[in-house]
Amino acid sequence: MNHFPPKPVSRRLFGTDGIRGRANVAPMTAETALRLGQAAGLLFTRGDHRHRVIIGKDTRLSGYMLEPALTAGFIGAGMDVTLAGPLPTPAIAMLTRSLRADLGVVISASHNPFEDNGIKLFGPDGAKLSDATEAEIEALMAEDIGDRLAAAASLGRAMRLVDAGGRYVESAKSSLPRGLRLDGLRVVLDCANGAAYKVAPAALWELGAEVIPLGVEPDGFNINQGCGSTVPAHLSAAVLEHRADLGIALDGDADRVILADEHGTIIDGDQVLALIARSFLAEDRLAGPGVVATVMSNLGLERYLAGIGLALHRTPVGDRYVAETMRAHGLNLGGEQSGHVILSDFATTGDGLIAALQVLAVLVREGRPASAVCRLFEPLPQLLRNVRYAGATPLQAPPVLAAMTEAEARLAGTGRLLIRASGTEPLIRVMAEGEDERLIAEIVEGLCAMIAGVAAEPAAP
């Protein structure tokens, strides 16, 4: 069973992907955003140069509340603020480096409904902050830092970057070989009414594809609503309706992607990783003999990669940990089954559009349909269930620990068991995979029942 020890830092606000919660309810309030801007601004004010932060967001209504609060905090800390407006998360990571900014900020709750929102931070290298740095920011937020804020003459200023979208489109297009075009390909593109609703269709159109856009009419409330990467059936139906060559579904901040072939069959992040790994290996573009994925990736991916001479390095869930491991091993390809794909030659974080472009490039070069190209291995049966709980985590209860040990023994080396607490919600995620589908279902359902029973027990007086 995969188990990763907790990080040796204390973080109460930050989860696996920044701070996240229900909009206008603690901690996702204007007050928290203001304090975060002040604390992060102070921590990243290093040196005598004029300091800058770039802020982007998705299309949620609550972005109008959080953006000015963050702006005020950073200005109060003496930082200049560049506002990019609605843009994908990877676009802000790219612009942070391009503008030589000290910090990048994205206001988004990714694939969550509009009622939620979140704030994630990028360092000057365009990479997500480490757990230790987030803990430093939290500590500063808890302190009285009023006397450390900028004097009146040293306050920052705010400006809007009017060509931010165009810069990202050009960056994404440059991930393809010069001269490669997508003429003749019909593509359904679902932007989830989110951050990529302008830039993603523009990039594909400029490359010559015929684009059928979906989810490109955001109204502040409809982000991820019945569309996007979390609703793949919507994508499949549209591909069949329009007789498209490929379907592309992004999530609300466009850092993940799910695809559908011409028959409407879904292609998840594991298959995308396998395809890009095979393509890069053939073109001698892999930086090393390995790929990075999380503990959630299917065992079928690991076996496929081993068959072509590549190792799979597994990390805890979260594209931040994938990126850290890629850097540690000098690798340039990694991702998650959920659709985060990191190609570090082009981006520092998951980029749904760039990943989709690499798949389209393979279709163009091979001249074969997606159904013949994009399914490189047969996934092993895998089952994931969530158990909601209140109060302390039930994972340390002796009956649960005993049940986990017994379940792992029953798999007897023919599969994997993964049990973890969600980093964004009070959920225990129970996942098992293996060659015996009935055994996997029995193990997962039994563990979920045990965890739910322990979670429902009243706490000891």
User: Which residues touch 334 (CB under 8 Å, ≥6 apart)?
Assistant: 273, 291, 292, 293, 313, 322, 323, 325, 326, 341, 342, 344
Distance CA 140, CA 298 (A): 40
Distance CA 61, CA 24 (A): 11
422 is catalytic: no
**HEC secondary structure over the chain:** CCCCCCCCCCCCCEEECEEEEECCECCECHHHHHHHHHHHHHHCCCCCCCCEEEEEECCCCCHHHHHHHHHHHHHHCCCEEEEEEECCHHHHHHHHHHCCCCEEEEECCCCCCCCEEEEEEECCCCCECCHHHHHHHHHHHCCCCHHHCCCHHHCCCEEECCCHHHHHHHHHHCCCCCCCCCCCCEEEEECCCCCCCCHHHHHHHHCCCEEEEECCCCCCCCCCCCCCCCCHHHHHHHHHHHCCCEEEEECCCCCCEEEECCCCCEECHHHHHHHHHHHHHHCCCCCCCEEEEECCCCHHHHHHHHHCCCEEEEECCCHHHHHHHHHHHCCCEEECCCCCEEECCCCCCCCHHHHHHHHHHHHHHHCCCHHHHCCCCCCCCEEEEEEECCCCCHHHCHHHHHHHHHHHHHHCCCEEEEEEECCCCCEEEEEEEECCHHHHHHHHHHHHHHHHHHHHCCCCC
Partner residues linked to 118 by β-bridges: 20
Q: In the 8-state DSSP scheme, what is residue 211?
A: E
The pair of structure tokens assigned to 218 is: 């955001």
The pair of structure tokens assigned to 181 is: 């075009």
SS3 142: coil
Residue 6 preceded by cis peptide, ω within 30: no
**φ and ψ of 372, to 5 deg:** -90, -15
Query: Per the residue annotation, which of 62, 108, 110, 171 is the catalytic one?
Result: 110
Give me the active site residues, please: 110
